[in-house]
Amino acid sequence: MRYSGINGTGGYLPAKVVTNKDLEKMVDTSDEWIMERTGISQRHVAEEHETTTSMAAAAAKKAIEASQLKPKDIGMIILATSTPDRAFPGTACLLQEALGIRNCPAFDISAACSGFVYGMTIANAFIKTGQANHVLVVGSELITRYVDWKDRSTCILFSDGAGALVLSAQESPGIMATDLHADGRYKDLLYAGCPYSRDNVSPYIQMKGHEVFRKAVNALGSLVTQVAKENNLDKDAIDWLIPHQANHRIIQATAKKLGLPMEKVIMTVKDHGNTSAASVGLALDHGVRTGQIKRGDLLLMEAFGAGFTWGSVLVQY
Ligand code: UT7
């Protein structure tokens, strides 16, 4: 049997940070409110010269290096983003060029904050069917340029960055289960428009925060319960929950549903903010590089975002 497994990981966060105290000077908010309601203390904001591609390339180089591979070994590039550098070509092609890789398939996927688990799931399918040996999966977002910095309900949340991993073929799992969902009926609860579209909606992020929150808690609660049931997992089997980092209260509710103590949850939301498609990849890389996640650990990665989209990947690291 052919399986896929996580080879190496990488991450990139812009150096510039905007703290809650900085935001207090820009909108009617407070450090206390933001910490209590979201768990976020700062967000990373790309400088003028930075792009979705440049951040993706920085994270991807680290992931390829950690995999002890060369760029030429990569057989496919899947890049998840809602904030591409160009309408076309895809940012995956711009990344391919930046990495000096020639002649491998490269494409973007748009699944908002679920992009990284969507990307891993697609990569897993290509590897299992023998169509690729090493797939580079990247989530990269320059989402702060879609933020209305006068809107206190959204500007406190979002952050720029990129997370990456190389998924490689192996003889044992690796990825044990994947589960993807989408429900387009909720398209108006969280969105940003395209400037040239006739859709006539704001190009800035619009969110009905409380409704998104409720749906996220319910969807993720059902999702993790189902994954545990289908894979006969008891709560002690999962070594690490690696959730999308949107809000510490959503993460706590999901961990509680699984009966997992918070010591078994990778938490980066405080310092990373919500980096959308990059968030799960960045959290994984953080867990690996801080030595928390070890080879052989069972990881449950999950995400929820605009669409709505949501999904999970169960993987032995
Ligand atoms: O990554 C994709 C998925 N996204 C998410 O998962 C985000 C989901 N939503 C959330 O995380 C939360 O809904 C928020 C953090 C965005 C908001 O927290 P909440 O507890 O749901 O607050 P709320 O929207 O119900 O607002 C409560 C109050 C309102 O005032 P009134 O109407 O009760 O007087 C808001 O105007 O808090 C007010 N408020 C603020 N106050 C201080 C909203 N934003 C702020 C703010 N500072 N930044």
Measure the CA–CA gap between 1 and 171, rounded to whole angstroms: 6
Is 124 catalytic? The answer is no
Please give the radius of gyration of the chain, using alpha carbons only, rounded to the nearest integer: 18
Ligand 1 pocket check for 33: Cβ under 6 Å = yes
Ligand 1 pocket check for 53: Cβ under 6 Å = no
* Ligand 1 atom 47, closest CA: 29
* Ligand 1 atom 42, closest CA: 29
Mean pLDDT of the chain: 97
Ligand 1 pocket check for 143: Cβ under 6 Å = no
Residue 243 has pLDDT above 90, yes or no: yes
How far, in Å, is the centroid of ligand 1 from the Cα of 300? 27
CA of residue 11 relative to chain centroid, distance? 11
Residue 14 has pLDDT above 90, yes or no: yes
Residue 234 has pLDDT above 90, yes or no: no
How far, in Å, is the centroid of ligand 1 from the Cα of 2? 45
How far, in Å, is the centroid of ligand 1 from the Cα of 37? 7
Residue listed under structure tokens 């928390």: 292
pLDDT of residue 316: 98
Quick: pLDDT tens for 126-138: 999 999 999 999 9
Measure the CA–CA gap between 86 and 152, rounded to whole angstroms: 28
Quick: pLDDT tens for 20-76: 999 999 999 999 999 999 999 999 999 999 999 999 999 999 999 999 999 999 999
Residue 200 has pLDDT above 90, yes or no: no
Measure the CA–CA gap between 145 and 160, rounded to whole angstroms: 9
Ligand 1 pocket check for 214: Cβ under 6 Å = no
Residue 235 has pLDDT above 90, yes or no: no
CA atoms within 13 A on the CB side of 37: 15
Quick: pLDDT tens for 63-119: 999 999 999 999 999 999 999 999 999 999 999 999 999 999 999 999 999 999 999
* Ligand 1 atom 26, closest CA: 210
How far, in Å, is the centroid of ligand 1 from the Cα of 34? 9
Is 20 catalytic? The answer is no
